[in-house]
Amino acid sequence: MTRRRFRTGHGKGLLLAALCAAPVVPLRAENVPAAIEYRIEPGPLGDALTAFARQSGLQILFDAALVSGRRSSGVAARTPARETLAALLNGSGLIAEPVNANTYVLKPRPAAKPLLPPRQVPPRARTAETTAAAATALTPVQVTGSHIRRAEWEGASPVSVITREEIERSGLRSLIDVLRTQPAIEVAMRPEVMAASPAANYAYGGAAGASTVGMRGLGARATLVLVDGRRLAPYGLTLGGAGQVVDLNAIPLSLIERVEILRDGASAIYGADAIGGVINIILRRSFDGAQASVDYGVSSRGDAQRRGASATLGAGQGPVRVLLHADWSEREPLTGAGRDWYTLDRRGQGLGDSRSLYSFPGNYLYVDSKGEAGLAPVPGCAPRLQDEDGLCRLDEAKYTTIQTGQNVRSLFLRASRELDAAAELHAEMRLAKVDQHQEAAPFALGLLLPPGTDGSPRPDATVLVLYSFADVGPIRETTESLSHALDLGGKWRWGDWQWNADLSLQGNGVSDRIEGFLKPSEVLRLFDEGRYRLGGPNAADALAQLSPTLRRKGRSTLTEFVVSASGPLWEMPAGAAMLGLGAEARHTQVKDVPDPLLQSDDRLFGERSYVQRASSNSAAAYAELELPLSPRLSGELAWRFDRSQQVGSAVSPKLGLRWRAAESLLLRATAAEGYRPPSLLDLNRPTVLSEQRELQVPAELGPCAEVIDTPFALESNSIECRLRIFSGSNPRGLEAETSRSHTLGFVYTPNEDFSLGVDLYDIRRQQEISVLPLEYALQQPEQFPGFLQHDKEGRLIGLRRYPVNLGRTQTRGVDLASQYRFLQSGGADWIARLDATYADRREAQTRDDAAPIHLLGYDSNPRLRARLGLDFSRAPWTATANVTYIGAYRNTKFAGDTLSCAQDAPCRTPGFATLDLGLRYEGSAHWNAAFNVLNALDRKPVYNNADSANYNVLFDDPVGRYYSLSLGYRF
């Protein structure tokens, strides 16, 4: 890879009607499924094929335009799958060609000219596979991980698919919940993140309200999320100067056709941010008729209710097709007060009582006549808040939101027009409004009472009151997000080549409102004037003055134009070399404006906020080549060049190999390089005074303007200084994060009933961008220009902290995906699925001279994650059971960490499993119904972290057993 120092300055979707991932062996006559009873109503061909896929368990791949306007007479008989499919296609002018054991691709019935002329294969080289390939030219489809349209689903890179049927059967109601059940994916951000540690200070700032995911433990910024192969506009609120993320709350599940997960580095295909993998969300594109659905959910405790409704309308007249989809959902909030296990009093688990002494009306902290510290409750503490010593305690967990209140409304419109048999124009519009609400415990302060204060345990001395402003109320945050997208494009054929052009105009605007935040200057003024009384009562105008409403607004936009083409390049003895080409141009903007109070020093904690504003222009060109080296061996080469006007350039290559070692065995491997450039916010940080801190400084760096004389500093050949900490941009600029990734695996399908895929992965990321560690920089300040700040007399007054390239991470492990179909008799069908990820290594190195930190098995990094599913189908019923497993981990930060957990405390969070059950009925041409029980065993969270309230927001379900009912009607 070539790198430059950075300085400041797709594909068209197919419909996939399926229940499972496809095996990879050509279908043979002896493998044809046994006859089962099919009940498929007459109607649009696309709907009939979807019903057939659901009942048979087979995959049917087809372009939406191919079945547009065609109808099927339906089937109501007990017949083999192949005969049933032929009956559904009778009179349509289409045929189904097998791609592998469980997958068919639709194509026009010949006499249409094949995609490529049949090639001549020497007699000695002919096999059953090459003979079939020469006789049949399959309709190509596009799969995540490649820009080349191909006729085989399995490529060199491992791709897993969550189908629409799996989503419907799961009973889950949000995209973030569906993704977090996948073993290779972890939640990287969600609004409830502060619920993991409610005793910590409320962390204002960041991308409040956003939910996103990461892969392989590399975080959201190393995982690329696409919708129909296109990037999403970032969330309008930034990560406090550390970049941006996309928000998955704005994509309703009812609009999703499937989700494709590329578990491999893909910068050579998709550009920046695809170091850990790619999640491509494919939306619905075609529908005939009208459909409406409603759903309702409630916990077994009668709370956390959810209501939702959606409607879909699709129609076509001649070459014009229109699809309209609307979705609405509402979810009630749930706070810690609704769950008895969610508490900071962990004495029952051997972790002590972490409830706060900053309470209402509070506790006195004083020094008695003997010079010893003492604690006493302020009179008026409610009995339920008193501990065994009579002190007044506040359990912040009971105020904290563990499930946000949410209201989501979305609208989707797609229109397409066929110009002729080889060309189409389309336009899509998406709108989504997401309103969310969450709460945290009231703000707390220590207030000094002067001598002579009534009720003081030391009337002759100053006393500190540990106080919570409960009369102000909990901290309340409301975010309102509006996302919009307009996509215009077309596709056409020119000879044997497929061409595409798309223009995308997207944006996201967010308004964030915080109530219950304290303004320190007003607190002190009102307290000194006697207008605020500890314990109350206090006037409403006084409370409003000391707790003003804070407002923050952010907006981001994305404009992107993409043109691509794919087709045959030249003939080789084993087939045609296929080439994919493309170019992109992109413009992004972001503006994040915090409340003026947060930009001032009149705040309780945290760094000073500042207005963040940036824009960027970038362009890219890429090429991908698929070479059939032999009838059983093919190679894939990809190369991408990215260039940014402000940031610089990078080249990303990728190599892939596929070898059909036997009819039932596919071997595959990839090697790739990736990159993630520094964000515009990393490069454009204004220099601001963020905080003051007392630090030990090597004596040779002195003198300091403000020295704190301590014996410890003298003994350690250092001086203790009070320094101002400034934040800003790196004066030398930043380099891109780079990565090298490798995968090696196989897919084994001895018959149509069983498939097994195993893939090893290894990803190494270097030059990680992080904020300069102050202690490290003080040991070698000459490496970091501008780090030391001096006054005119040459005295050290502060430190300038900025982003640097220091860290590196390695993650390595194995993915397993298996499916087994069994007990096919009497019209019944059983399918078992297992998906698992076992991590073998996850190490981080914060700087070059530091030893690697071993993270795996520690601090929310379990080695094993798995999901086991079992489906039973017998028309018109389908029953589903899914078990999600999270492995155990120690509650320390890394291997060798002896400070994060006391020796006599439980320092390990055990592994656990949750069970979800579902039952679906589709016995009518119009009605369908589903009933699901999530967390059926009502498993309560266990999280043995000393600072937590028994809840890990990354893995745990805080709601408990949850009942969900949905009804759908097809007009």
Band (pLDDT 50/70/90 cuts) for residue 269 is confident
- Which region among 119-128, 194-203, 424-433, 635-644 has the lowest average model confidence (pLDDT)? 119-128
Number of domains in the chain: 2
Does residue 24 sit in the same domain as residue 168?
Answer: no
Q: Say which residues have a Cβ less than 8 Å from residue 655's Cβ, sequence separation at least 6.
A: 635, 636, 637, 638, 670, 671, 672
Pair 218, 297 in one domain: yes
- Residue 715 makes CB contacts below 8 A (sequence gap 6+) with none
Q: Are the beta carbons of 517 and 475 closer than 8 angstroms? A: yes
pLDDT-based confidence at 20, cuts 50/70/90? very low
When the pLDDT of each residue in the chain is averaged and rounded to a whole number, the result is 84
Place of tokens 């039932």: 664
In angstroms, rounded to a whole number, what is the distance separating the alpha carbons of residues 634 and 638? 14
Cα dist from 416 to 282, 397, 427, whole Å: 17, 52, 6
Total count of residues recorded for the chain = 971
pTM of the model: 0.82
Residue 239 domain-assigned (yes or no) = yes
Query: Are residues 255 and 338 located together in one domain of the fold?
Result: yes
Could you tell me if 104 and 174 lie in one domain? no
Structural domain for 30, as ranges = 17-121
Confidence (pLDDT) at 369: 83
Among 189, 181, 149, residue whose Cα is nearest residue 261: 181
Q: Are residues 698 and 653 in the same domain?
A: yes
Mean pLDDT for 153-159 is 77
The answer to whether residue 318 sits within a structural domain is: yes
CATH of the domain at 904: 2.40.170.20
pLDDT of residue 202: 53
* 60 and 166 together in one domain: no
Tell whether 371 is covered by a domain.
no
Residue 522 falls within a domain, yes or no? no
- Would you say residue 285 lies in a domain? yes
Q: Which residues, at least 6 apart from 697, have a Cβ–Cβ distance to it below 8 Å?
A: 704, 718, 719, 720, 721, 723, 778, 796
Share of the chain above pLDDT 70, in %: 86
**Of the ranges 384-388, 732-736, 849-853, the best mean pLDDT one:** 384-388
| 736 & 872 share domain | yes
Token pair belonging to 216: 């392989």
List Cα–Cα distances, 582 to 480, 496, 566, 623, 638, in angstroms: 37, 17, 9, 7, 12
Answer for the pair 745, 757: CB distance below 8 angstroms, yes or no: yes
DSSP string over 277-292: EEEEEEEP----EEEE
Answer whether residue 638 shows pLDDT above 90. Answer: yes
Q: Using 50, 70 and 90 to split pLDDT, how confident is the model at 221?
A: confident
Q: Domain containing 89 — which CATH number?
A: 3.55.50.30
Q: Tell me: pLDDT of 1 over 60.
A: no
Q: Is position 217 within any domain?
A: yes
Give the tens place of pLDDT for each residue, 523-552: 989 988 889 988 889 999 999 999 999 999
Q: Per the domain annotation, does 302 fall within a domain? A: yes
- Which residue, 98, 121, 144, sits at the end of a domain? 121
pLDDT tens digit sequence for 283-308: 988 888 999 999 999 999 999 999 99
Residues 811 and 884 in one domain: yes
Distance (Å, whole) CA 884 – CA 170? 12
CA distances to 431, 460, 507, 511 from 481, in Å: 11, 54, 10, 7
Do 56 and 199 fall within a single domain? no
* pLDDT at site 149: 54
| pLDDT exceeds cutoff 80 at 311 | yes
d(CA 13, CA 228): 6
Same domain, 576 and 483: yes
Highest mean pLDDT among 241-245, 295-299, 797-801 belongs to 295-299
User: Do 113 and 230 lie in a common domain?
Assistant: no
Residue 437 is assigned to a structural domain of this protein: yes
What is the arithmetic mean of pLDDT over 655-666? 93
**Of 456 and 887, the one with more pLDDT:** 887
- The confidence band for 119, taking pLDDT boundaries of 50, 70 and 90, is very low
Higher pLDDT, 410 or 164: 410
Rounded to whole angstroms, what are the CA distances from 277 to 35, 78, 643, 673? 40, 43, 21, 12
Q: How far apart are CA 697 and CA 704, in angstroms?
A: 9
Q: Are 194 and 332 in a shared domain?
A: yes
pLDDT band at 241 (very low <50, low <70, confident <90, very high): low
pLDDT at position 338: 94
Write down the pLDDT at residue 804: 87
* Average pLDDT score over residue span 839-852: 82
The average pLDDT across 640-646 equals: 84
The residue from 66, 94, 121 where one domain ends is: 121
